[in-house]
Chain A
């Protein structure tokens, strides 16, 4: 079988590979490889925090369960659905760019960036709620949580803000990246298909990380 890498190479393409590559297909494989090496480092970066969280949750199961109950499960669930949907629109942008449909590419990219922005807005609302309830052990602010789990709950919320904060930062970078891709699309930049699909890989990884953040933090509580 012929491997397509993440970026399919059209047989009728007029684009030439960069001088260090034998073919456009090889160049596309190198693009994918480079992005995945970066993504692997991101996986380990977040994996380390997931691991630390798991160790403390094993040590203080009751406290983490109680603290998780103070998160807004509804907003968290909606946000997860929004991110999964944004991955769909990103994939549709990939399809459009491969089909050389610039108009559709621009629309799907804009929609992806919009969904990412909505996610960040909802995340902001959640954070504001937690700041108001004095559940944010940040910037020397008071932390209020009923005994006997106060100290362990502070630890949970430190993890919560570290994980969701770093994820939000990654998503913000993703939104900027998708907007840059939108500008490239409007300007019909060279190697547009490779650019959009590689940016898409980053977008999907940010989605992938949230897929683990959500059950670890929000579903630790006892509901119902």
Chain B
């Protein structure tokens, strides 16, 4: 009677240790974004084993089972609602309300429009001056205009690129921009215009032209002390 129980417990224990080893090993692999998912999934399996076998949920009566489940279910509800909230409301994160820092003053509420607002009301319309269509054209110079770019940067891009929120390379962080500039100016512009990872297309401001975006990237590059070959004088 005692022998199979002991062997059963030892089996659970060895499984838990093996999962721990797997979890640590996966931390050394190049999994990128999936790493947190893998290690936490392993933790969930370990937790399931502990609750089922070491905490006897496998044999428990219905009422204690409901009590145990309720803790986890309320936790899931809380996690679901909080994550939904933050995933659908990135503006607060971009505004820096998540982590107020003395070095940077948050723009006032309303200065950055909510993505769902139909009539966007900019706190300071003069700050964003999209290049009129008539001034664009095939012959337009592709060299970044850093003074106009700086205006766009200060009114839009700074929300994330000022502090490096959600993986955005910080303006002035030479190492971060050095790595990205290797992809070439056109790749950077295309990422910024079409959106890339956490970055929304055109930084969430569709009224900006590609030229504005190009200028803003140029400003951030020069602020980081990097000069990048632009279209035309790339050495291919």
Whether the Cβ atoms of B64 and A29 lie closer than 8 Å is yes
Bound together, the chains give a CA A60 to CA B71 distance in angstroms of: 29
**Contact stretch, chosen from A38-46, A116-124, A130-138, A176-184:** A38-46
Whether the Cβ atoms of B28 and A223 lie closer than 8 Å is yes
Whether the Cβ atoms of A44 and B78 lie closer than 8 Å is yes
Picked from A6, A41, A216, A224, the residue with its CB within 8 Å of the CB of B55 is A6
Taking A6-B64, A215-B39 as contacts, is the C-beta distance between A47 and B47 under 8 angstroms?
Answer: no
Whether the Cβ atoms of A148 and B75 lie closer than 8 Å is no
Whether the Cβ atoms of A95 and B5 lie closer than 8 Å is yes
Taking A5-B64, A92-B9, A204-B55 as contacts, is the C-beta distance between A155 and B99 under 8 angstroms?
Answer: yes
Taking A3-B61, A32-B64, A33-B63 as contacts, is the C-beta distance between A148 and B71 under 8 angstroms?
Answer: no
Find the residue from A32, A43, A85, A92 having the highest chain B CB count within 10 A: A32
Bound together, the chains give a CA A60 to CA B16 distance in angstroms of: 31
Interface of chain B, main secondary structure? helix
Q: Which residue on chain A has the smallest CB distance to residue B35?
A: A219
Picked from B39, B53, B54, B75, the residue with its CB within 8 Å of the CB of A43 is B75
**Contact stretch, chosen from A14-22, A73-81, A163-171, A187-195:** A73-81
| Total number of residue pairs linking A and B with CB closer than 8 Å | 164
Bound together, the chains give a CA A210 to CA B94 distance in angstroms of: 32
Bound together, the chains give a CA A47 to CA B86 distance in angstroms of: 17
Q: Which residue on chain B has the smallest CB distance to residue A46?
A: B75
Q: List, in ascending order, chain A residues with CB within 8 A of B71's CB.
A: 36, 39-44
Whether the Cβ atoms of B173 and A148 lie closer than 8 Å is yes
Q: List, in ascending order, chain B residues with CB within 8 A of A44's CB.
A: 71, 74-75, 78
Number of interface residues of A (CB under 8 A): 62
B126 interface contact, C-beta 8 A: no
Q: Which residue on chain A has the smallest CB distance to residue B96?
A: A59
Picked from B5, B35, B46, B82, the residue with its CB within 8 Å of the CB of A211 is B46
Please provide the 10 A-B residue pairs with the shortest distance between their CB atoms, ordered closest to farther.
A40-B71, A224-B28, A3-B61, A215-B39, A6-B56, A36-B67, A43-B71, A88-B13, A32-B64, A219-B27
Listed in ascending order, the chain B residues whose CB lies under 8 Å from chain A are: 2, 5-6, 9-10, 12-13, 16-17, 20, 23-24, 26-29, 35-36, 39-40, 42-43, 46-47, 50-51, 53-56, 59-64, 67-68, 70-72, 74-75, 78-79, 82-83, 86, 93, 98-99, 101, 164-167, 170, 173
Residue pairs across A and B with Cβ atoms less than 8 A apart, 30 shown, are: A4-B56, A5-B61, A32-B60, A33-B64, A36-B67, A36-B68, A40-B68, A41-B71, A43-B71, A43-B72, A47-B75, A47-B78, A61-B167, A77-B20, A85-B17, A88-B54, A91-B9, A91-B53, A95-B2, A95-B9, A99-B2, A155-B99, A201-B55, A204-B55, A215-B23, A215-B39, A218-B27, A219-B39, A220-B36, A221-B27
